[in-house]
Amino acid sequence: MGSVRTEAGLEAAARRLRDADRVLALTGAGVSAESGVPTFRGPEGLWRQFRPEDLATPEAFERDPRLVWEWYAWRRERIAPLEPNAAHRALAALESRTVEFLLATQNVDGLHAVAGNRRLVELHGSLWRVRCTGCRKLREDRRVPLGDLPPRCACGAVLRPDVVWFGEALPEGAVGAALKAAQTAEVVLVVGTSALVYPAAALPQIAQGHGAFVVEVNPEETALTASADVSLRGRAAELVPALVEAGQ
Ligand code: APR
């Protein structure tokens, strides 16, 4: 049963972290909230009157690629000037001192890579990569603003964001690496996710099935809280550095 934030909870989690050679971190939009990136299901989750579920689908893109790209172009413009926060930096420090570490993020904002994480998989892709719907070419694209929407490939076909939409399969390599880490991790650190979207949300349970100690950091209760070994109630930029520091 996850205990809400107490010094005892933080100490218990830190003790596990101190003894762990194999750590899996799973992050969601909440780890980037204090960098200024809006979460999906929080008060800022809407763009115009749309929810992510309305636009982040192959059907929405098929129906109106320009509208879907207006949403992604807005997110890219909003996120481009933002910096990693103390939680991102603490997770990069944790990677640098952990023998076997993987950061599996659901975020597409690219901030973990900017903070220095390298053993990183982007389960839901990246806002900063585009894929051609015709010739399938994949490339980094950091143009802000993007220019005419929808953007087109040199081959003439429409480009799409290289992100995973509802109903689409996650990138095989990323899922494989995350599952492998979940099967061997001693500690799983789950930061800033509502734990509602699968298969990412299954990773903590899979790890717990192999004996991992699951620590959640979130200002609110989530679908994971009841099963977490410790649930620290608070903001990522405050608690993740405190936990990584105490877990040295
Ligand atoms: N620190 C930590 N957690 C926070 C903070 C903060 N400062 N602010 C908000 N949160 C928490 C919220 O309480 C919530 O539990 O972050 C979580 C954000 O949840 P969602 O908005 O559902 O985002 P996420 O869990 O990443 O969504 C998963 O759903 O829309 C799809 O593909 C999209 O990757 C996304 C996936």
- Scanning the structure block, which residue is given the tokens 């192999």? 210
Instruction: Kindly state whether residues 149 and 241 are assigned to the same domain.
Output: no
Ligand 1 centroid – CA 191 distance (Å): 9
* pLDDT of 2: 53
pLDDT at 149: 97
- CB 87, CB 191: distance < 8 Å: yes
Count of domains for the chain:
2
Q: What are phi and psi of 88, to 5 degrees?
A: -60, -45
On whether both 23 and 138 belong to a single domain, the answer is no
- Cβ–Cβ < 8 Å for 97, 248: yes
Ligand 1 centroid–CA 39 distance in Å is 5
Same domain as 54, residue 116: no
Q: Phi, psi (5° rounding) for residue 239?
A: -80, -35
pLDDT for 41 equals: 81
Scan for tokens 């802000």, then name that residue.
144
To test the pocket of ligand 1, the residue of 72, 108, 123, 197 to mutate (highest count of ligand atoms within 8 Å of its CB) is: 197
Of the candidates 34, 43, 42, the one whose C-alpha atom is nearest the C-alpha of residue 237 is 34
pLDDT digits (tens), the chain, 248 positions:
455 557 789 999 999 999 999 999 999 999 999 999 988 887 777 788 888 889 999 999 999 999 999 999 999 999 999 999 999 999 999 999 999 999 999 999 999 999 999 999 999 999 999 999 999 999 999 999 999 999 999 999 999 999 999 999 999 999 999 999 999 999 999 999 999 999 999 999 999 999 999 999 999 999 999 999 999 999 999 999 999 999 99
Q: Are residues 223 and 134 in the same domain?
A: no
Domain match, 87 and 152 both: no
Give this prediction's pTM: 0.96
Would you list the DSSP string of 18-74? HH-SEEEEEE-THHHHTTTPPPSSSTT--BTTB-HHHHSSHHHHHH-HHHHHHHHHH
Domain of 189, in residue numbers: 7-37+83-124+169-246
**Ligand 1 cavity residues, CB under 6 Å:** 28-30, 33-34, 39-42, 52, 106, 124, 192-194, 196-197, 217-220, 222, 235-236
pLDDT at position 40 = 85
Name the domain boundary from 144, 163, 182: 163
- The pLDDT assigned to 3 comes to 53
236 plus 214 within the same structural domain: yes
